Structure 1
Amino acid sequence: MNFIQTIEGWITRERIRILCILIVPALLLFDLIQIWSNAAMFGRFPYGHDFVAFWSAARLAVEGQPGAVYEPSIYFAMQEELILRGGVLPWFYPPTFLAALMPLGFFGFPAAWVIFSGVGIGGLALAARPFLKGQDRIGWALLLGAPVMGLTLVQGQNGAIVAALMLGAFAARAAGRTWLAAVLIAALTIKPHLAILIPVALLAARDWRLIWRAGLVTLIFLAAPCAVFGTQSWTLAFQHLSKTGWIFAERETLVQMVTIYAGGRLMGLPAEFATALQVVSAGLAVIFVWRLWRDPRVPGELKLAGLLMAALLVPPYGFRYDMVVTLAATLLIAGQAQRQGWMPGERLCLAALWLLPLVLPNIADASNLPAGFALLLLGLWSVRRRVSDLP
């Protein structure tokens, strides 16, 4: 028995079940203890560190000041009343996301975090149901008990919502519900840089009906913020983008990211060279998805796994909480393995994809290497192995 087989021997159903039960509660408990150990913070609501920015924006929108998200004197002042650690967060998101968040501004911060998190978890569970149907409960445990789910909850981020929209769109497509798929794809305008490969996949599949329907609904979604916030909402958003690049150059931010651009900057490469590497990464992702979705031999779930695995290879900015998308891909590959048999070393690869997002910033900080990008490549290789094994 070689070394890999020895390690894989430790990956048993019982150990997986225990990890799935413990990890998310442990992360929530650790964050609570870390915050409340500071006497000045004791008793304050301990979760949703990034959600502070979302809730503050929603409250400003409810108060009739959506443009104030671009006014530091107003937006940051509201955040400072809630922030528990770190600094204030600029608004990076398009008006479509602000419009979606707006109803949360009617609630207090803790209640809004609970609703936001519940929508993410519930939406992901609903979207994953067609893919996990017929499997035992270990698939659900791996989905809802993954470290990246705990990280998303603690930070109050939208990774689960984005993954739910992606999974739901292609589940609807597979069921022939094209208009629903179009709506869910259009909803990804809340975080469009993670959906860039979807048009590539649909063009490769020659799914013209979904393409034009998704295009139509997307135009409606893009116009909706103008009706809610005024026609200047998109102008302000684009003007603001050029003023926020500084935060993505900070080391504390770079170690949280999983792109080759961030990895290159950590290695000390000039921004121009890191950008060139990112262009190469994006190009390879486009080619990979195009070829995958053009291949009639590849089953739909494996095509979707490849698309999800490649999603974070395209944009220069992608964080570990966005890896709920790769978590979904990991479980799709695991489903293929359960039905068709495990390949050598595959359990170890998928275990790494499932577990390592927990410690990616620590590895990147200690090594100055693109640990997150390496994990994305491992995921892509896992898909490629499956495709190569097809008859």
Structure 2
Amino acid sequence: MAHFWQAIRSGEWLTAARARDYSLILLGICALAAVGWIALSDGLIDRNGKPIGTDFASFYAAGSLVLDGRAGDVYNMAAHYAREQQIFGAAMPYYGWLYPPIFLLVATPLALMPYLPALAVWQIGTFALYLLVIGRIVRRMRGVAIGPVWLPIAAGFPAVFINLGHGQNGLLGAGLFGAALLALSARPVVSGVLFGLLAYKPQFALVVPVALLAAGQWRTVIATGITVMALVGITSLIFGADLWLAFAASTETSRKLLLEQGDVGFEKLQSVFAAVRMWGGGVPLAYAVQGVVSAAVVCGTAWTWRSAGDRDLKAALLVIATLLASPHVLDYDLVILGLAIAFATSAGFAGGFRDYEISLLAAAWIVPLLARGVAGVTGIPLGLLVLLALYVVTLRRAAWDRAAPAVSAHEIAQA
């Protein structure tokens, strides 16, 4: 038993070969399951009576309404649902459109194609972007010959399969977020444009601006603001400014139904807010606890980003904080956690791994596969607990690294 805990502490149990083999096994199982699920489907409808790609049906229906000159109906739930039924059949459940008009710039071109080719382009394109960005992160690892082992680990990350199964946009978000962080030091304006393109997920916008301001990245902040304003202007010209008013009105309904009442399922949400609600806490208490946690992770991240510490470590902390600060984080959103794992691994290879870091990164890799099921059966928010632990360990490492130069300077002075 002592040897077991020593292995967990040191992370020696997770060799590169094991990481590759575990990833390949999971990748193979999920690929076979996906092929079988599609083969058993009836046209566009799977065995559960849902469209293949589930949430992508909402994107496609919204885009098709725009192509018909009915952009104003995108935020009309009855009209949007009627279009989904027209495409997929009257028996399908409703998949709502919850995004700002910015995302119509993506959904509308996809709706020019038949549904299955559009879904394939969406899935393959966003998956390729995610892999490209992860590859860029790991290839920057200093003094490490990483080789091709990163590819099955990144592709086999369970959050990827959850995202692909839902036809969701987490892979796109991970690609844009990671590319923005990679470009930050050398191309701050490009980084700002990429951060601005993430405005289709406004619930993830709490921490990034604070971190950029704390780091004095003014060019990136200005570029982000200009990009967002340009997107608002472009969508207003194309779809009409009233569509933004319709979006603003729709947020109250989505907040009450999906977040506060948990129509989406509290076990699927990976936030502090959802955990409090799942445990029977009221809405005011859930917002209060979420507010405390959000403020804490924002402050910790801002403090870290003010320092001249390891860029990869700061990037990892920002990604984790972005997930923790939002009350509306679904398990497919955890695909951006892959960025944190990659950046934290890079920092570990550069400066050495501390106790439990390797095992915790392994837990973060596997937890999207388990989070929904464990929460549904036991009420334990496993995904949230891993996120909190990873944030604390990463912040602790940042604090140690920040203190190290001061300690070294003191030692030199004493000598």
**TM-score, with structure 2 as normaliser:** 0.87
The offset of 1:157, in angstroms, is 0.7
- 2-structure distance, mates of 1:83, 1:247: 24
Q: What's 2:409 paired with? A: none
Q: What's 2:30 paired with? A: 27
> Would the aligned equivalents of 2:273 and 2:290 in 1 still touch at CA under 8 Å?
yes
Compared with structure 1, are the counterparts of its residues 99 and 45 closer, same or farther at alpha carbon in structure 2 (3 Å cutoff)? Answer: same
Q: What's 1:126 paired with? A: 132
- Residues 292-331 of structure 1: per-residue CA shift (max 9 Å, x gap): 10122x1111111100010011221111111121111011
1:16 paired to 2:19 = yes
- 1-structure distance, mates of 2:195, 2:5: 39
Instruction: Please tell me whether Structure 1 or Structure 2 has the larger radius of gyration of its CA atoms.
Output: 2
Which one-letter code corresponds to 1:219 in the other structure?
A: M
- 2-structure distance, mates of 1:185, 1:65: 29
> Would the aligned equivalents of 2:269 and 2:330 in 1 still touch at CA under 8 Å?
yes
Compared with structure 1, are the counterparts of its residues 323 and 340 closer, same or farther at alpha carbon in structure 2 (3 Å cutoff)? Answer: same
- 2-structure distance, mates of 1:55, 1:23: 30
The offset of 1:141, in angstroms, is 2.6
Q: Which moved more, 1:264-273 or 1:367-376?
A: 367-376
> Would the aligned equivalents of 1:31 and 1:46 in 2 still touch at CA under 8 Å?
no
> Would the aligned equivalents of 2:53 and 2:167 in 1 still touch at CA under 8 Å?
yes
The offset of 1:15, in angstroms, is 2.3
Compared with structure 1, are the counterparts of its residues 4 and 84 closer, same or farther at alpha carbon in structure 2 (3 Å cutoff)? Answer: farther
Identity of aligned residues (%): 26
When the two chains are superposed, the root-mean-square deviation of aligned CA atoms in Å is 2.4
Task: Describe the SS at the equivalent of 1:93.
Answer: coil
Matches within 5 A, 1:48-59: 48-59=53-64
**TM-score, with structure 1 as normaliser:** 0.92
- 1-structure distance, mates of 2:50, 2:25: 22
Q: What's 2:349 paired with? A: 338
- 1-structure distance, mates of 2:231, 2:148: 36
> Would the aligned equivalents of 1:159 and 1:322 in 2 still touch at CA under 8 Å?
yes
- 1-structure distance, mates of 2:215, 2:91: 46
1:63 paired to 2:68 = yes
Task: Describe the SS at the equivalent of 1:242.
Answer: helix
Compared with structure 1, are the counterparts of its residues 195 and 263 closer, same or farther at alpha carbon in structure 2 (3 Å cutoff)? Answer: same
- 2-structure distance, mates of 1:182, 1:285: 22
Matches within 5 A, 1:172-191: 172-175=183-186, 177-191=187-201
- 2-structure distance, mates of 1:192, 1:299: 27
> Would the aligned equivalents of 2:320 and 2:391 in 1 still touch at CA under 8 Å?
yes
> Would the aligned equivalents of 1:264 and 1:370 in 2 still touch at CA under 8 Å?
no
- 2-structure distance, mates of 1:375, 1:123: 26
1:290 paired to 2:302 = yes
Q: What's 2:245 paired with? A: 235
Aligned length: 389
Q: What's 1:106 paired with? A: 112
Task: Describe the SS at the equivalent of 2:88.
Answer: coil
Task: Describe the SS at the equivalent of 2:354.
Answer: coil
- 1-structure distance, mates of 2:46, 2:72: 33
Which one-letter code corresponds to 1:87 in the other structure?
A: P
Task: Describe the SS at the equivalent of 1:222.
Answer: helix
